[in-house]
Chain A
Amino acid sequence: MGAQLRVYRQKIRSAQTTKKITRAMELIAASRIQKALQRVAASAPYARAVTRAVSAVATHSNVSHVLTTEPENLRRAAVVVFTSDRGLAGAFNANVLRASEELTALLTSQGKEVVHYVVGRRGISYFNFRKRTPERTWTGDTDTPGFETAREIGDEVVARFVQSTDEGGVDEIHVVYNRFVSMLTQEPEVVRLLPLEVVEGVDEPGAEIFPLYEFEPEPEQVLDALLPVYIQSRIFNALLQSAASKQAATQKAMKAASDNADKLIRDYTRLANNARQAEITQQISEIVGGADALGSAK
């Protein structure tokens, strides 16, 4: 067998092995998307209840709470970036990191100092590579995030928010995560969590009118207890959305890789066939040439 042919056969084998791996990863991701989406759906009643309660307190009491009032001048902002622990997910991490860089640039141009909180190993290595130190990082829980992680992150940022700016506290909290739109689309989403933007006086048609609630103990304390919970639930939702998006992005990337491997295999098979045929043609012409030479030598 010719050297050329051997090289092509080797390349075909290597592409086939790669394809087996990417195909398996594609199938695994596909089955995990469903689970991740179920978790998003399962957490919806909680998020709805918390949001309703917060709106009820915020609209029906004239409490000016530290978490809802906007300070005069904002000097420092925190950005929480949700990335994944593992790569091989196409532009998943790149997208969310780019969105966070854009947000950082915007906040800096407004004269604010930006501190970062990073979830996921990919984000951390991005920051390390650029010799920047995130304020705090979380890893190991991005595939199937638990509420405990959300609580930790929530408590950390709320504590930082309550601190005064002179002592290193922050005036704003933003989150950047991949929102799951569909199996094919995941969009980076930038949301400002704090201070809360309470929309007042907008009566949408069909919007629910909150009754006059009785608060126990006092509206202030209820809001005190409720707002960190609200932040936690928003962060939990971001974690879940990000996890579902990661699986969808992985599936898409692995499907592209499998298709690509298919194409490589086809192309190399063509080339290998060509090489084999060329070899045969050469052998025939050698034989014919040899026979001719023998015949004319008589």
Chain B
Amino acid sequence: MALNVAVVSAERELWSGEATQVVARTTEGEIGVLSGHEPILAVLAPGESRVTALDGSVVTARVEDGFLSVQGDTVTIVAGTAELV
């Protein structure tokens, strides 16, 4: 099953769609999320988050601050300031 991913910054939604995998850098280290992951709320460290979309393309977002929330198969990367690379 695919993940439902949204990357949002304070000003707008940067990207949303279905993906197979999300890799984000939290304050504790890198975390990879696949379908069926347990619900988690993690604080992000400045760095890059990668989303592998269903078609295999990789979306990279540079995130300044924020958090990652996983609930069911919904993944949200929430950042005050972020931009797609």
Q: Which residues of A contact B (CB under 8 A)?
A: 39, 42-43, 45-46, 49-50, 52-53, 56-57, 146-147, 150-151, 210-217, 221-222, 225-226, 229, 232-233, 236
Contact = CB atoms under 8 A, between A and B. Distances in A.
A147 B31 CA distance: 27
A49 B43 contact: no
Nearest to B37: A214
Contacts of B76: 49
Given A39-B11, A49-B69, 13 more contacts: A45-B12, A45-B13, A46-B8, A46-B78, A49-B6, A213-B39, A214-B38, A216-B27, A222-B67, A225-B67, A232-B10, A232-B80, A233-B10
Closest 9 CB pairs of A and B: A216-B42, A42-B12, A147-B10, A211-B39, A214-B40, A49-B78, A225-B43, A45-B8, A45-B13
Given A49-B78, A53-B67, A43 B12 contact: yes
Contacts of A57: 41
Given A45-B13, A147-B11, A150-B10, A222 B81 contact: no
A275 to B, nearest CB: 59
Contact of B10 (A43, A53, A210, A213): A43
B21 interface: no
B11 A216 contact: no
Contact of B27 (A43, A214, A217): A217
Given A53-B41, A53-B69, A229 B80 contact: yes
B55 interface: no
A232 B38 CA distance: 28
User: Which of B9, B39, B66, B78 is the most central at the interface, judged by chain A CB atoms within 10 Å of its CB?
Assistant: B78
A221 B10 contact: no
Contact of B78 (A53, A151, A213, A236): A53
B80 A151 contact: yes
A211 B78 contact: no
Contacts of A214: 38-41
Contacts of A217: 27-28, 43
B26 interface: yes
Contacts of B69: 49, 52-53, 56
Contact of B39 (A42, A212, A225): A212
Contact of A216 (B12, B40, B71, B80): B40
B6 A45 contact: yes
A216 B76 CA distance: 15
B10 A46 contact: yes
Interface string B1-32: 00000101111110000000000001110010
